[in-house]
Amino acid sequence: MRKVVIIAGPTCCGKTNYSIEYIKNCDAKIINGDSLQVYRDLKILTAFPVEYELHDIEHQLFGFLESSEKITAYDWAILAAHEIDDAFKENKIPVIVGGTGFFINTLINGVSMMPVISPEIRHNSKILAKNNYDTLCQYVYGHDRRLKEVIPKSKHRQMIRAYEIMISTGKSILYFHDGPKTEFIRDVFFDFNIIIPNRQLLYNRINDRVDWMLENGAIEEVRDLLSRINSANIDSYPVFGAIGAREIAAYLGEILPRNEMIDLIKLKTRHYAKRQITWFKHQVHESEFLKIRLLES
């Protein structure tokens, strides 16, 4: 059976170095599995592969979107499946590298087809979420108590999505999750390698990376991007989902002192890595088409 290699794990775990070592002895193509490395901007903040890596090894799905363009897990899975098929045609091993678990899970397990939401409902939902988010949450939980365990209040986008679906269809988002799923690729075996470093080692790496980024152009690239976009509405630019982008923007706007900006970026990155580790550890199981291995260091 055809094999797709996946190298995943929390931020700063060493995915890039591991993937380069992995493919030294085989003809392979690296496919990006990170939801922010798809953007052309903020390459330092998103830990974009450095130039020599891009030249020496074939990379796909890196830096192909503008900052204002949106991409869903569904969109990415379609593109990734296309790159995987191309790799097989070229007798190469497709190697997906990234830490966006939802993207990877969508590719492996497929995705449920969701109803189309009207622009009016999207607009009204956005206003309600902005002015009275607690009311929106109460409505969602009141119609399906199971969602308290599935979508915590901190998951704003997922909560708003669940609300929009309830308003549009009268049904819970879980109703659609349980329905038939779209498959993106068939007849493959997924070799899923998850890198989980020692927690303190990981946190030290995070602190060092943040310091390096700020000393090597991260502030300048945010300043440059802000000069080219509507900086008063950064929420409409998905690339600002990169940890550090908003904090640097606040620092540049003299809202956040430099030392607080640095501490906040490090703290948010550590919290994000912790959530990633929890998610990836919950994925450990085996089937006839999927083998997941934890690589601890």
Dihedrals φ, ψ of 35, to 5°?
-70, -15
Q: Minimal CA–CA distance to 280: which of 100, 126, 122?
A: 100
Those residues whose C-beta lies under 8 Å from the C-beta of residue 131, and which sit 6 or more positions away, are: none
Tokens describing residue 2: 């055809």
Question: What local confidence, expressed as pLDDT, does residue 296 receive?
Answer: 63
Pick the CATH number of 1-112+186-297 from 3.90.105.20, 3.40.1380.10, 3.10.20.30, 3.40.50.300: 3.40.50.300
Q: Domain ranges in the chain?
A: 1-112+186-297, 119-177
Cα angle: 171, vertex 176, 179; to 5 degrees: 135
Question: What local confidence, expressed as pLDDT, does residue 49 receive?
Answer: 83
Question: What local confidence, expressed as pLDDT, does residue 133 receive?
Answer: 96
Q: Minimal CA–CA distance to 15: which of 233, 202, 217?
A: 202
Pick the CATH number of 119-177 from 3.40.1130, 1.10.150, 1.10.20, 3.40.50: 1.10.20
Tokens describing residue 123: 């607009």
CA distance 226 to 261: 17
CA dihedral 27, 31, 33, 36 (to 10 degrees): 140
Answer yes or no: are the C-beta atoms of 107 and 182 closer than 8 Å: no
Question: What local confidence, expressed as pLDDT, does residue 221 receive?
Answer: 97
Mean pLDDT by 10 residues, the chain (297 residues): 93 90 87 96 92 72 95 94 97 95 91 88 95 96 93 90 96 88 90 90 96 97 94 88 96 97 98 91 62 64
Tell me, what amino acid is at 168? S
Provide the phi-psi class of 229: left if phi over 0, else alpha when psi is between -120 and 50, else beta.
Answer: beta
Answer yes or no: are the C-beta atoms of 109 and 73 closer than 8 Å: no
Burial call 193-232: b when 16+ CB within 10 Å, e when fewer = bbbbbeeeebbebbbebbeebbeeebbebbeebbeebeee
